[in-house]
Amino acid sequence: MKDLLDDIYANIGLSPERGGVATYIPELAKIDPHQFGMCVAAADGEVYTAGDAEVPFSIQSVSKVFALALALGKVGDQLWRRVGREPSGLSFNSLLLLEREDGIPRNPFINAGALIATDIYLAGSRPKEALGQLLRFVRAASDDEDIHINEMVARSEIATGHRNVALAHYLASFGNLHSGVDEVYGTYCHQCAIEMSCRQLALAGRFLIDTDDTPKLVSRERRRRIAALMMTCGHYDGSGDFAFRVGLPGKSGVGGGILAIAPGKASVAVWSPGLNRYGNSKLGTEAMEMFARKTGWSVFG
Ligand code: GLN
């Protein structure tokens, strides 16, 4: 496994064609695109790394996996009254379907749906407490206390994220946001500003692999459902392409991170800040593709 990761680093991690970093969040525009890290956390607890696997990065939308798990833990299947389970075929921050579909976002991984998950885990507490709960979940999953929110990144997004504010107001206009727009939006931006290294993220993903040795933070049924949503919706309008090329459930973020799950086998994290046209890590996707091809791992047998 270590040789494979070194091979991926040498073949893909050093590629000159790296995609462009996200610029709509000013703090993320400053990130050096010449970075690449990868980590495999195996079901048996072994951890393998290559490249910049210890460098913390902004996990952004990868946080939506943890937020969904936390929100489901609070309200269970009632969550599905407020958000759907279908791919949107549109970009992560699209407003388009919300009006047509009466304020019910297509799925919990596009921004509109993620705002609902945030609203759910925020209900009844203050943003700081709710974020504390989310951090506790992530720290417990990775068995690492050294995971924090980057306040500069959160503030940078809060100050400039007009589309997300619009989405939040739109949801509120349909009565599908229970806390105040500012509170939900601020909590969402802080959630996205969690920083983790590939090592921490791969370890945190182990709760989604079902074996005797992995953390039991959600039931088996819920784990399967979260993985199904990662497969169908985890890369937005690039989800079909990711399923086709990689064949493993995955979740991306505009910070350039991707978390993928090989059920029963391993949790895999990769990070390279340059993005492809869908807003998913360019080299990260290529690395996952090579990883899946070389290991032969796929949920499709
Ligand atoms: N915080 C980012 C946003 O809402 C997350 C998007 C992403 O990672 N795809 O725009």
Alpha carbon distances (Å) from 105 to 33, 113, 157, 163 = 32, 5, 21, 15
Cα–Cα distance, 168 to 174 (Å, whole number): 10
65 with 187, same domain: the answer is yes
Q: Active-site residue 156, yes or no?
A: no
Q: Active-site residue 294, yes or no?
A: no
pLDDT of residue 24: 95
* Domain-embedded: residue 300: no
DSSP line for 234-282: TTGGGHHHHHHHT-S-EEE-TTSEEEEEETTTEEEEEE-S-B-TTSSBH
CA 61 to centroid of ligand 1, rounded, Å = 5
Q: Active-site residue 21, yes or no?
A: no
User: What are the per-10-residue average pLDDT scores of the chain (301 residues)?
Assistant: 98 97 96 98 96 98 98 98 96 91 97 98 98 98 97 98 97 98 98 98 96 89 97 97 98 98 97 96 98 98 90
Q: Which domain holds residue 288?
A: 2-60+196-295
156 with 8, same domain: the answer is no
Atom number, ligand 1, closest to the C-alpha of residue 92: 9
Query: Long-range contacts made by residues 288-293, C-beta under 8 angstroms, separation at least 24?
Result: 288/242, 288/245, 288/246, 288/248, 288/250, 288/258, 288/260, 289/245, 289/246, 290/8, 290/11, 290/12, 291/4, 291/8, 291/38, 291/40, 291/246, 292/245, 292/246, 292/247, 292/248
pLDDT of residue 213: 83
* Domain-embedded: residue 82: yes
Query: Is any atom of ligand 1 closer than 6 Å to the C-beta of 254?
Result: yes
Candidates 181, 254, 268, 270; catalytic one = 254
Q: Active-site residue 48, yes or no?
A: no
pLDDT of residue 135: 98
Q: Is 107 annotated as a binding residue?
A: no
Helix (H, G, I), strand (E, B) or coil at 81: helix
Q: Is 185 annotated as a binding residue?
A: no
CA 50 to centroid of ligand 1, rounded, Å = 26
Query: Is any atom of ligand 1 closer than 6 Å to the C-beta of 176?
Result: no
Q: Contact 186/15 with Cβ under 8 angstroms?
A: no
The residue from 146, 169, 194 where one domain ends is 194
Cα–Cα distance, 257 to 268 (Å, whole number): 11
Q: Contact 67/134 with Cβ under 8 angstroms?
A: yes
The model's pTM is 0.98
161 with 219, same domain: the answer is no
